[in-house]
């Protein structure tokens, strides 16, 4: 099938589960022209379409490494979170190993979904990074957490006094 034909079959919205299932049923490699679009759908936080595509990539494993690597490189924390929590746990160590450089980069970049810490877990679980290096980053992140907590307490006090 062509990209144009596949795009016409893609979901209309995040709740269009039947369209997502039809795309998944076509299977890999036939869906290759729309794989990046499928990854893009995973940006939706609560969506059966996103869940369906995540499950598909989880089963796909090694064949999805390039697409998932590109998804991890995006600035979308929700896509990263879905990949780290729903896709990579299903993958073999060999497939995860191919993402080492990207996971290492994410481990150094905090975000609202704690993807940095999730990346550290994946790296440690699969022994893909130097454990001492990971430990140093963990110590740094804990120190920053304490500073952030102090800021939260201070903001909370200001809000109480303003009301």
Domain count along the chain? 2
Q: Looking at the structure, tell me whether residues 136 and 125 fall in a common domain.
A: no
Query: What's the CATH number where 111 sits?
Result: 1.25.40.750
Contact between residue 26 and residue 61 where contact means Cβ atoms under 8 Å apart:
no
pLDDT of residue 24: 98
What is the C-alpha separation between 128 and 134, in angstroms, rounded? 10
CB 113 within 8 A of CB 76: no
* Residues 91 and 108 both lie in one domain: yes
Stretch 43-58: mean pLDDT: 97
Query: Taking 90 as the threshold, does the pLDDT of residue 90 lie above it?
Result: yes
Indicate whether 47 and 87 sit together in one domain.
yes
Average pLDDT over the chain reads 97
In this structure, the answer to whether residues 158 and 121 fall within a common structural domain is no
Residues 24-34 pLDDT 10s: 999 999 999 99
Same domain, 106 and 135: no
pLDDT at position 99: 98
Do residues 44 and 107 share a domain? Answer: yes
| Whether residue 163 sits in one domain with residue 142 | yes
Read off the pLDDT of residues 139-152 as tens digits, 9 standing for 90 and up: 999 999 999 999 99
Angstrom distance (rounded) from CA 97 to CA 100:
5
pLDDT at 163: 78
148 and 118 together in one domain: no
Q: How confident is the model at residue 161 (pLDDT cuts 50, 70, 90)?
A: very high
Q: What is the per-residue pLDDT for 132? A: 97
67 and 103 belong to one structural domain: yes
Do 116 and 55 share a structural domain?
yes
- Domain coverage including residue 138: 131-163
CB 91 within 8 A of CB 58: yes
> Residue 124 pLDDT > 90, yes or no?
yes
């Amino acid at each position: 099938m062509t990209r144009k034909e596949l795009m016409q079959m893609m979901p209309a919205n995040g709740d269009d589960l039947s369209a997502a299932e039809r795309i998944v049923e076509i299977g890999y490699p036939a869906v290759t022209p729309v794989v990046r679009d499928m990854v893009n759908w995973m940006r939706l936080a609560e969506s059966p379409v996103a869940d369906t595509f995540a499950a598909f990539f989880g089963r796909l494993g090694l064949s999805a490494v390039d697409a998932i690597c590109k998804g991890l490189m995006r600035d979308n924390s929700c896509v990263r979170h879905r990949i780290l929590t729903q896709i990579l746990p299903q993958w073999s160590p060999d497939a995860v190993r191919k993402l080492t450089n990207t996971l290492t980069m994410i481990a150094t970049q905090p975000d609202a979904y704690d993807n940095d810490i999730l990346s550290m877990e994946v790296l440690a679980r699969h022994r893909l990074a130097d454990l001492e290096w990971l430990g140093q980053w963990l110590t740094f992140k804990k120190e920053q957490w304490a500073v952030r907590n102090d800021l939260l307490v201070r903001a909370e006090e200001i809000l109480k006094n303003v009301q």
